[in-house]
Amino acid sequence: MLDTDKVFKALADPNRRKLLDALCLENGQTLGGLCEYLDMARQSVTQHLEILESANLVTTVRRGREKLHFINPVPLHDVYERWIRKFEQQRLSLLHDLKAQLEGENDE
């Protein structure tokens, strides 16, 4: 499976998006801390985190007995650059052209 496919698969689930939101609010959380954001068993949260890690959206660091989870924004930026930005540029260009056309009509 391609890395981009893994990112889209990971983002497809609302619980995984909630985990990313939680890490965005407070990066470097433990499994216990992240479980507070979801109404599910620790094992289920662990499975979601494994999918996020597989997509490289989450990285972990061991600190003593704790395993801290950190968001990795690079894959999200890659998706933005590849799949969103080009559509955004086209839309903004159309809005700019429309604005110029409307302003030109007002000047006549």
Assess whether 65 and 77 both reside in one domain: no
The number of distinct structural domains making up the chain is: 2
Q: How far is CA 108 from CA 18, 80, 97, 101, in A?
A: 52, 40, 17, 11
Q: The tokens of 16 are what?
A: 């995984």
Domain range holding 40?
A: 1-72
Q: Are residues 4 and 40 in the same domain?
A: yes
Nearest to 58 by CA among 80, 42, 41, 75: 75
Same domain, 87 and 103: yes
Residues 86 and 62 in one domain: no
The pTM of the whole model exceeds 0.85 = no
Residues 34 and 87 in one domain: no
| CATH classification at residue 20 | 1.10.10.10
Q: Does 46 share its domain with 99?
A: no
pLDDT in tens, the chain (108 residues): 678 899 999 999 999 999 999 999 999 999 999 999 898 999 999 999 999 999 999 999 999 999 999 999 999 988 888 877 777 777 777 777 788 888 886 554
The verdict on 87 and 65 lying in the same domain is: no
Q: Are residues 59 and 102 in the same domain?
A: no
Phi, psi angle pair for 61, to nearest 5° = -135, 135
Do 19 and 55 belong together in one domain? Answer: yes
| Interatomic CA distance for residues 63 and 2, integer angstroms | 31
Q: List helix spans (H) across the chain.
A: 3-11, 14-25, 31-35, 42-54, 74-79, 85-107
